[in-house]
Structure 1
Amino acid sequence: MRIAVLKFGGTSVANEMKRNHAVQRIGEALEEGYRVIVVVSAMGRKPEPYATDTLLSLVREVAPDLPLREQDMLMACGEIISTVVLTACLRRAGIQAVSLTGWQAGVITTEQFGDARIQRVDGERIRRALEQNRVAVIAGFQGTSENGEIATLGRGGSDTTAVAIGAALAAEVVDIFTDVKGVYTVDPHLVSDARVLPSVTYREVCQLAQEGAKVIHPRAVEIAMKNNQAVRVRSTDHPDKGTLICAPQHHAGDDAGCDRLITGIAHMAPITQIKVDTTQWPDPALTGQTVFQAMAEAAISVDFINVHPTAVIFTVADEITAKATQVLEELGLCPEVRQGCAKVAVVGIHMTGVPGVMAQIVLALNREKVPILQSADSYTTIWCLIPVRDLTVALNALHRQFCLS
């Protein structure tokens, strides 16, 4: 039995026209001979009535400290509504379908409410539906614990649901349908000649996603990589095959059949750079330990960390700048704070061991007079912190420098 899993995000089922496009994509998969599993997100985004954030707003004004267990019960409703509505659309089109909640579909999770992990998928009920020639329409983003507690999987959880179900049922492919045509070389809203990549490796797309390219959740990619599961990112509105996410040995390279040094560029903005002069602390060697312990105890996530003999530098999201600054000042430190920054990540698995990549980045940014405030690198990625006002100029300059158009 050839199985395909098709996941539709919130924007892909937000209105009647979008849902009709989704039905068309499902029909195409059936015509290709697949037994089809569909995973859906909640319809639309806030303030649309059934979006997850809209549902949460119903109780947050009443009880801002409502336990996560109760919030999960409410948040799970958005995907269930979406599941039933899309099932109705399929039946109207003459396609037999059955709607299933996450727990009816056998998705077993931990009890980490709001950010649960999938422990296993019991796919027996899904398989029975497929054997009866019915499309199984499953609510993403949710499951149940061994104790029967409803739990949600956190942001991007429907991607994770789709890939986990695909792996459990040995699906031939998992298609992630969204409002873009695939994985782009760079944000097409900021760079006019950005192009869709025909294929990208698990590691590259995971890095791009972690650095702000919102095409697929990194956790879903990790599951796909572990199970060698083929995944495609596609547009609901177009029949194009989109971008194939695969192992390096199946990576097609660029359109000319050769591998590019750089695959893509991602960014995160706005963020804040915080610099602490360690010489103002009685024992400079312990300053970093004290700073990061204080951040952890305040539940502040830090990123882009550089530790020097005389300074500790890191970034935080702009919206928690005040909280982070207060924590440091309470320690008796005087942090240097720079808001309005952007983190740019240049990603490519073939840069490892190749000299001159950083030189090209510096050349491209210097040419446009874009200052580099901070930098770091790994085997597959080079990061630069720049002023957010220069973000569009920087992305275009780097895209040209590495001939990604």
Structure 2
Amino acid sequence: MRIVVQKFGGTSVATAEAREKVVEKIAAAQEQGFQTVVVVSAMGRKGEPYATDTLIELAHSVCPGISAREMDQIMCCGEIISAVIMAGTLQAAGIDALMLTGGQAGIVTDHNFNNARIQKVEPSRLLYLLKTGKTPVVCGFQGTTTDDEFTTLGRGGSDTTASALGAALNAQMVEIYTDVDGIMTADPRIVNNAKILDMISYGEVCQLAQQGAKVIHPRAVEIAMQKNIPLIVKSTFSDMPGTLITNLSKEDTDGIYVADRVATGVTYMNHIAQIRVSLGDNVACDAAFKVFKAMSDHKISVDLINVLPDWVMFTIPQDLAETATKILEKNGFQVEAVLNCAKVSVVGGGMREVPGVMASFVEALAQHRIPIMQTVDSNASISVLVKQSDLAQAVTALHEQFGLASV
């Protein structure tokens, strides 16, 4: 069997008109000789009646501290409604579709409600349905435990569902349908000459996602990468080819990595606070441990970490700044919280061991008099902390500096 997994996001299934476009994509794949497994997200976005955020608000209106288990039960409802409606739409179009929950499709998870991890996928039922000519429509974002508890996979979990099913079924590809034509070199709302990438490596797209780009869930990419299953991000509403995510060149002959260019994209995260902690007369290593242990104990995730003899600096989401400051002051530290910051990153698998990349990065910001508050880098990315007010100019300057308008 030649299998393709097609995942459709919330905007793709939100209206009758959009669902007709989904039917066209599924029918086109089947006409090309593929057997299709369809994965759907909840219908629409926040404020719409069956969107996940709307269901969350409903539960919180009854009990702000409602348990994670109960929250998962209501959050699963959005995808169930969506899958039933999509299966019905396909049946009306003459396609023999069958709706399945995540658990019915064979997705078994741990008991970590709200952010469960897939432990295994048992594909036998899906394979049987495909062999009998049916089109499974699977609820994304969810699975069940071994004792039949509903669980959800965390935000972006429908991408993870599609990738996990693709890996279990040895699919030819996994198509991620959304409302944009592919992965772009930068946010087009900030950079007016941002381009759609025709191809990007697994590693690069993971970096983009981890650094703030809302392109695809990193866990979905990691699963596909394990079996080298190509991912394609494309639009439900156009015939554009989209962006291919893979390790291989288009020719798929010599195992050539696609990331020959120094930079692939520029992305950002905003509403960040920088926390500066004075270690005073404490032994630096002991004091630094105490700082990060305090954050860990209160489940505050830190980023952009610098440890100096007298200071520790890191960043956190701005809405946690007051809480973090109070915790650290209770532990005897002097703390300064700098609000209204943003993290800007350049990502590219080709920057590894290339001299002058940092110099070019800093030059782009210096030319626009944008102060750098903090830096961190890896083999595939360079990130800086800047003032929120400098965010748009920094993204635009870096996009131009690394020639991303001409990819």
TM-score after normalising by structure 2? 0.95
Structure 1, residues 101-120: CA drift from partner, whole Å, max 9, x if none?
A: 11111111111111111111
Separation in structure 1 between the aligned mates of residue 172 and residue 55 of structure 2, nearest angstrom: 35
Q: Relative to structure 1, is the Cα distance of residues 146 and 123 closer, same or farther in structure 2, using a 3 angstrom cutoff?
A: same
Q: Relative to structure 1, is the Cα distance of residues 321 and 61 closer, same or farther in structure 2, using a 3 angstrom cutoff?
A: same
Structure 1 portions without partners, runs of 5+: none
1:350 — aligned with what?
350
1:50 — aligned with what?
50
Structure 1, residues 112-152: CA drift from partner, whole Å, max 9, x if none?
A: 11111111111111112211222110001111111111111
How many angstroms does 1:316 deviate by?
0.4
Secondary structure of the residue that 1:261 maps to in structure 2? coil
1:137 aligns with 2:106: no
Secondary structure of the residue that 2:292 maps to in structure 1? helix
After the TM superposition, which of the residue ranges 343-352 and 282-291 deviates more from structure 2?
282-291
2:274 — aligned with what?
273
Secondary structure of the residue that 2:394 maps to in structure 1? helix
Structure 1, residues 154-203: CA drift from partner, whole Å, max 9, x if none?
A: 11111000000001001101001111111111111110111111111111
How many angstroms does 1:258 deviate by?
8.8
1:233-252 map, 5 Å: 233-248=233-248
Separation in structure 2 between the aligned mates of residue 393 and residue 291 of structure 1, nearest angstrom: 33
Residue 259 of structure 2 contacts residue 350 of structure 2 at CA under 8 Å; is this kept in 1?
A: no
One-letter code of the match for 2:276?
A: K
1:302 aligns with 2:309: no
Residue 201 of structure 2 contacts residue 259 of structure 2 at CA under 8 Å; is this kept in 1?
A: no
Separation in structure 2 between the aligned mates of residue 12 and residue 332 of structure 1, nearest angstrom: 52
Residue 281 of structure 1 contacts residue 333 of structure 1 at CA under 8 Å; is this kept in 2?
A: no
One-letter code of the match for 1:238?
A: S
Residue 110 of structure 2 contacts residue 117 of structure 2 at CA under 8 Å; is this kept in 1?
A: yes
Q: Relative to structure 1, is the Cα distance of residues 187 and 308 closer, same or farther in structure 2, using a 3 angstrom cutoff?
A: same
2:162 — aligned with what?
162
Residue 25 of structure 1 contacts residue 239 of structure 1 at CA under 8 Å; is this kept in 2?
A: no
Q: Relative to structure 1, is the Cα distance of residues 64 and 34 closer, same or farther in structure 2, using a 3 angstrom cutoff?
A: same
1:26 — aligned with what?
26
TM-score after normalising by structure 1? 0.96
Q: Relative to structure 1, is the Cα distance of residues 281 and 23 closer, same or farther in structure 2, using a 3 angstrom cutoff?
A: farther
How many residue pairs align between the two structures? 400
2:122 — aligned with what?
122
Separation in structure 2 between the aligned mates of residue 143 and residue 285 of structure 1, nearest angstrom: 43
One-letter code of the match for 1:116?
A: A
Separation in structure 1 between the aligned mates of residue 81 and residue 120 of structure 2, nearest angstrom: 24
1:204 — aligned with what?
204
Residue 12 of structure 1 contacts residue 179 of structure 1 at CA under 8 Å; is this kept in 2?
A: yes
One-letter code of the match for 1:370?
A: I
Residue 38 of structure 1 contacts residue 137 of structure 1 at CA under 8 Å; is this kept in 2?
A: yes
Residue 23 of structure 2 contacts residue 90 of structure 2 at CA under 8 Å; is this kept in 1?
A: yes
Residue 201 of structure 1 contacts residue 251 of structure 1 at CA under 8 Å; is this kept in 2?
A: no
One-letter code of the match for 2:170?
A: A
Residue 351 of structure 1 contacts residue 379 of structure 1 at CA under 8 Å; is this kept in 2?
A: yes
Residue 281 of structure 1 contacts residue 287 of structure 1 at CA under 8 Å; is this kept in 2?
A: no
One-letter code of the match for 1:273?
A: Q
Residue 345 of structure 2 contacts residue 382 of structure 2 at CA under 8 Å; is this kept in 1?
A: yes
How many angstroms does 1:250 deviate by?
5.5
2:255 — aligned with what?
none
One-letter code of the match for 2:264?
A: T
1:333-344 map, 5 Å: 333-344=333-344
Secondary structure of the residue that 1:335 maps to in structure 2? strand
Residue 177 of structure 1 contacts residue 236 of structure 1 at CA under 8 Å; is this kept in 2?
A: yes
Residue 274 of structure 1 contacts residue 313 of structure 1 at CA under 8 Å; is this kept in 2?
A: yes
2:283 — aligned with what?
283
Residue 259 of structure 2 contacts residue 349 of structure 2 at CA under 8 Å; is this kept in 1?
A: no
How many angstroms does 1:26 deviate by?
1.1
Aligned sequence identity (%): 50
One-letter code of the match for 1:109?
A: T
Separation in structure 2 between the aligned mates of residue 16 and residue 262 of structure 1, nearest angstrom: 40
Separation in structure 1 between the aligned mates of residue 388 and residue 93 of structure 2, nearest angstrom: 48
Separation in structure 2 between the aligned mates of residue 172 and residue 305 of structure 1, nearest angstrom: 40
Structure 1, residues 349-387: CA drift from partner, whole Å, max 9, x if none?
A: 111111100111111111111111111111111111111
Separation in structure 1 between the aligned mates of residue 3 and residue 275 of structure 2, nearest angstrom: 49
Q: Relative to structure 1, is the Cα distance of residues 276 and 383 closer, same or farther in structure 2, using a 3 angstrom cutoff?
A: same
How many angstroms does 1:218 deviate by?
0.6
1:76 — aligned with what?
76
